[in-house]
Amino acid sequence: MGFWDKLFGEFVDIIEWTDDSADTMVYRFERYGNEIKYGAALTVRESQVAVLVNEGKIADVFQPGMYKLETKNIPVLSTLQGWPHGFESPFKAEVYFFNTKRFVDLKWGTKNPIMLRDKEFSAVRLRAFGTYEIRILDAVAFLREVVGTDGHFTTNEITNQLRNLIVSRFANVLGESEVPILDLAANYDDLSTYITAKIGPEFKEYGIAVTRMLVENISLPPEVEKALDKRTSMGVIGGLRDYADFQAAEAMTQAASNPGGGASDGVGLGMGIAIASKMSESLGAAGSGTPGGPPRIPTEARYYLAINGHQTGPFSRSELRTKIADGDLTRDSLIWTHGMQDWQTADQADGVKALFADSPPPLPKS
C-alpha cells in the first residue's frame, strides 16, 4: 500500500459497520495497520455491540450509540496506554462488531439413529430433526471462547458444534422422559422447552443464548414404519380374520378392474381367495368370536351312522349311547364325523369307542 493510502487511512475518522448478509456474526473493522485516529467517531447500531481490542487485550465494549474515541471515553484503554490527557496521535487497535440479532432457522438433526428402550415396542431406533435460534449474549465471552482473531465469523463456523450439543442432550432427554413412541408427537412442545432449558447453560459458556428450539419430527426406521402401518390397518379393519376377508375382497376388486387379464390371473385370483378363505376358517375355528372378546364356546361333535346301507344322523354322543343300548349301534357299525378322512368302525373312532367300555363284546360265533 502506498504513502497516500496510508495517509488516507490514518485520517479516516468514522468507524461503522453495515451488513446485509444473514449469517455474519462478527466482523472486524478493516483499517490500514489497525491505526485509529484519536477522536474518531464510532457508530454502533441497534442489534450491534462493538469491542475495542488493543495490543491483544480487550479495552472497551460499546453498546448501541455514537462515540468519540477520546481518552475520557475509553478509560480502560487510557489505563493500558498510560496516555496523558489530550494525546492526539493515532493508536493501533482493532474494532470487532458483533451482530446481536437472532439467527433463525438453524438446522439440527441426528446423523445416526438414537437407540432407545420403549415399553410397547421394546428396543427401537429413532431419528429426529428440527430448527433452533441463537443470539450473541456476551460479546466478550464469544470473542474469547469462539471467535479468536477471525475477522469474519459466520454461523457456519459454529453450527456443527452446537448441533452436536443439541443431539447429545436430546438423546438424554428422550431416555429420561420415558414417553411412549406413539405419544412423542403430542409432546413436541414439552420436549422443545425442556431441551432449550437443558442446553442453555452450555450455550452460555460460549457467550450464546439459545432463544428457541423446535422439534419438527421424530421418526422410526422405514421398515418399522411399514410394520406399524400394517398393524394399524389391521386394527382399523378389525382382527386377523377380518383382515383376511379384506385381502380377498381387495383381490376380487383388482381382478374386476382388469377384465383383460389372462388365465393365469384367474388362477392367481382363485388361489388368493382359497388361501384367504382357509385362513378365515382356521382363524374362525381357533380365534375369538369378536376382537378382544372371550373365545367361542366349543360345540359338541356330531356323528353320522351307516345303517342298512343308508346314511343317518347326525347324532350327539348321548344319542349314540342310546343307540348302543338299543342295539342299533355296534362296534362294527360304520361312523363318520367332521375331521375324519373316511368312514371307520365305531370301535376305532376317537370319541366313540369309549362309549363301548361298559358294553360286553359280541358273542363268539359257534
Q: Do 210 and 243 have their domain in common?
A: no
**Domain range holding 49?**
3-99
Q: Which three cell numbers stand for residue 174?
A: 428422550
Mean pLDDT of 15-20: 89
| CATH number of the domain that residue 314 is part of | 3.30.1490
Q: Do 143 and 229 have their domain in common?
A: no
Percent of the chain with pLDDT over 70: 69
Give the torsion through C-alpha atoms of 211, 216, 218, 219, to 10 deg: -150
Q: Do 233 and 185 have their domain in common?
A: no
366 within some domain: no
293 within some domain: no
Confidence of residue 304 (pLDDT cuts 50, 70, 90): confident
Confidence of residue 4 (pLDDT cuts 50, 70, 90): very low
The domain tally of the chain equals: 4
296 within some domain: no
Is the model more confident about 158 or about 318? Answer: 158
Question: Pick from 286, 313, 331: which residue ends a domain?
Answer: 286
Is the pLDDT confidence value at 32 over 70? no
Q: Do 178 and 118 have their domain in common?
A: yes
| CATH number of the domain that residue 131 is part of | 3.30.479.30
Q: Do 95 and 119 have their domain in common?
A: no
13 within some domain: yes
Mean pLDDT of 239-263: 63
Does the N-terminal peptide bond of residue 314 adopt cis geometry, omega within 30 degrees of 0?
A: yes
Mean pLDDT of 211-238: 78
Q: Do 137 and 195 have their domain in common?
A: yes
Q: Do 239 and 258 have their domain in common?
A: yes
Residue 78 is predicted with a pLDDT of 45
Q: Do 139 and 64 have their domain in common?
A: no
Question: Pick from 99, 127, 150: which residue ends a domain?
Answer: 99
What residues contact residue 343 under an 8 Å CB cut-off, 6+ apart?
A: 306, 334, 335, 336
Question: Pick from 203, 220, 237: which residue ends a domain?
Answer: 220
Return d(Cα 294, Cα 288) in angstroms, integer: 6
Is the pLDDT confidence value at 359 over 90? no
10 within some domain: yes
- Is-contact 337 323, C-beta < 8 A? no
Is the pLDDT confidence value at 7 over 50? no
